[in-house]
Structure 1
Amino acid sequence: MEEKIFQEKRSKIMRSIKSQSALENLVSKELWKRGIRFKKNVRKLLGTPDIVTQKYKVVIFRFLFLACL
Protein backbone atom coordinates (compact mmCIF):
# COMPACT_ATOMS: atom_id res chain seq x y z
CA MET A 1 0.00 0.00 0.00
CA GLU A 2 2.77 2.46 0.93
CA GLU A 3 4.61 1.76 -2.30
CA LYS A 4 1.61 2.77 -4.37
CA ILE A 5 1.24 6.06 -2.51
CA PHE A 6 4.94 6.70 -2.93
CA GLN A 7 4.77 5.90 -6.65
CA GLU A 8 1.79 8.20 -7.17
CA LYS A 9 3.49 11.05 -5.33
CA ARG A 10 6.73 10.47 -7.25
CA SER A 11 4.83 10.42 -10.55
CA LYS A 12 3.20 13.74 -9.70
CA ILE A 13 6.57 15.29 -8.86
CA MET A 14 8.22 13.97 -12.02
CA ARG A 15 5.36 15.26 -14.20
CA SER A 16 5.84 18.75 -12.79
CA ILE A 17 9.52 18.86 -13.82
CA LYS A 18 9.99 20.49 -17.21
CA SER A 19 12.91 19.47 -19.40
CA GLN A 20 13.33 22.98 -20.80
CA SER A 21 12.30 26.37 -19.54
CA ALA A 22 10.09 28.60 -21.66
CA LEU A 23 12.41 31.55 -21.05
CA GLU A 24 15.44 29.58 -22.25
CA ASN A 25 13.57 28.61 -25.42
CA LEU A 26 12.58 32.24 -26.03
CA VAL A 27 16.17 33.46 -25.68
CA SER A 28 17.47 30.62 -27.87
CA LYS A 29 14.99 31.36 -30.65
CA GLU A 30 15.77 35.07 -30.58
CA LEU A 31 19.54 34.50 -30.72
CA TRP A 32 19.12 32.07 -33.62
CA LYS A 33 16.81 34.49 -35.47
CA ARG A 34 19.44 37.24 -35.16
CA GLY A 35 22.10 34.95 -36.63
CA ILE A 36 23.98 34.29 -33.40
CA ARG A 37 24.95 30.64 -33.32
CA PHE A 38 25.40 28.97 -29.97
CA LYS A 39 25.68 25.71 -28.07
CA LYS A 40 23.49 24.70 -25.17
CA ASN A 41 24.60 23.12 -21.87
CA VAL A 42 28.32 22.81 -22.62
CA ARG A 43 29.66 20.40 -20.02
CA LYS A 44 33.33 21.08 -20.81
CA LEU A 45 33.09 24.55 -19.25
CA LEU A 46 33.02 25.14 -15.53
CA GLY A 47 29.47 25.45 -14.23
CA THR A 48 27.80 24.05 -17.38
CA PRO A 49 26.46 27.30 -18.85
CA ASP A 50 23.02 27.23 -20.47
CA ILE A 51 24.12 28.97 -23.69
CA VAL A 52 27.65 29.47 -25.10
CA THR A 53 28.69 31.55 -28.11
CA GLN A 54 32.25 30.77 -29.11
CA LYS A 55 32.52 33.54 -31.72
CA TYR A 56 31.64 36.31 -29.26
CA LYS A 57 33.11 34.55 -26.20
CA VAL A 58 29.93 34.96 -24.15
CA VAL A 59 28.26 32.48 -21.83
CA ILE A 60 24.79 32.65 -20.29
CA PHE A 61 24.08 31.09 -16.90
CA ARG A 62 20.39 31.08 -16.06
CA PHE A 63 20.10 34.24 -18.11
CA LEU A 64 22.78 36.15 -16.29
CA PHE A 65 25.09 37.41 -19.04
CA LEU A 66 28.84 37.08 -18.43
CA ALA A 67 31.59 37.98 -20.86
CA CYS A 68 34.58 35.65 -20.90
CA LEU A 69 37.57 37.59 -22.13
Structure 2
Amino acid sequence: MPEEEWRNLHATLEQIIDLITRRNADDSSSEWIESEAARKLLGISPKTWQNYRDQRLIPFSQIGRKIYVNR
Protein backbone atom coordinates (compact mmCIF):
# COMPACT_ATOMS: atom_id res chain seq x y z
CA MET A 1 0.00 0.00 0.00
CA PRO A 2 1.46 3.40 -0.90
CA GLU A 3 2.45 5.57 2.06
CA GLU A 4 0.03 8.37 1.16
CA GLU A 5 -2.93 5.98 1.13
CA TRP A 6 -1.78 4.55 4.45
CA ARG A 7 -1.63 8.04 6.01
CA ASN A 8 -5.12 8.86 4.68
CA LEU A 9 -6.50 5.60 6.05
CA HIS A 10 -4.82 6.21 9.39
CA ALA A 11 -6.22 9.76 9.59
CA THR A 12 -9.71 8.53 8.74
CA LEU A 13 -9.56 5.84 11.41
CA GLU A 14 -8.44 8.40 14.01
CA GLN A 15 -11.41 10.61 13.08
CA ILE A 16 -13.79 7.68 13.45
CA ILE A 17 -12.36 6.77 16.84
CA ASP A 18 -12.66 10.38 17.98
CA LEU A 19 -16.30 10.59 16.84
CA ILE A 20 -17.22 7.36 18.60
CA THR A 21 -15.46 8.42 21.80
CA ARG A 22 -17.21 11.81 21.85
CA ARG A 23 -20.59 10.26 21.06
CA ASN A 24 -20.27 7.73 23.86
CA ALA A 25 -19.21 10.43 26.31
CA ASP A 26 -22.16 12.63 25.29
CA ASP A 27 -24.67 9.79 25.55
CA SER A 28 -23.58 8.60 28.97
CA SER A 29 -23.48 12.02 30.57
CA SER A 30 -26.63 13.56 29.15
CA GLU A 31 -29.31 11.18 30.34
CA TRP A 32 -30.65 11.65 33.85
CA ILE A 33 -33.09 9.16 35.30
CA GLU A 34 -35.19 9.26 38.43
CA SER A 35 -34.03 7.51 41.55
CA GLU A 36 -36.62 4.75 41.45
CA ALA A 37 -35.83 3.86 37.84
CA ALA A 38 -32.12 3.70 38.66
CA ARG A 39 -32.80 1.50 41.67
CA LYS A 40 -34.86 -0.90 39.57
CA LEU A 41 -32.18 -1.01 36.85
CA LEU A 42 -29.63 -1.97 39.49
CA GLY A 43 -32.01 -4.47 41.08
CA ILE A 44 -31.50 -3.23 44.63
CA SER A 45 -33.88 -2.58 47.50
CA PRO A 46 -34.95 0.90 48.57
CA LYS A 47 -32.90 0.57 51.77
CA THR A 48 -29.75 -0.44 49.86
CA TRP A 49 -30.32 2.47 47.47
CA GLN A 50 -30.61 4.83 50.45
CA ASN A 51 -27.38 3.41 51.92
CA TYR A 52 -25.56 3.94 48.62
CA ARG A 53 -26.72 7.55 48.51
CA ASP A 54 -25.86 8.15 52.17
CA GLN A 55 -22.36 6.76 51.62
CA ARG A 56 -22.04 8.71 48.33
CA LEU A 57 -21.24 5.51 46.42
CA ILE A 58 -23.48 6.66 43.59
CA PRO A 59 -23.42 10.36 42.64
CA PHE A 60 -26.84 11.99 42.40
CA SER A 61 -28.57 15.34 42.19
CA GLN A 62 -31.62 16.35 44.16
CA ILE A 63 -34.19 18.91 43.09
CA GLY A 64 -36.75 19.39 45.81
CA ARG A 65 -37.77 15.90 46.82
CA LYS A 66 -36.84 14.32 43.46
CA ILE A 67 -33.53 12.52 43.19
CA TYR A 68 -31.85 12.02 39.80
CA VAL A 69 -28.83 9.99 38.79
CA ASN A 70 -26.77 10.01 35.66
CA ARG A 71 -27.34 6.85 33.66
TM bucket (normalised to shorter chain) is: 0.3 to 0.5
- Name whichever structure is richer in helix by fraction: 2
Larger radius of gyration: 2
- TM, length-normalised to structure 1: 0.37
Higher relative CO (Cα under 8 Å, sequence separation at least 6) belongs to 2
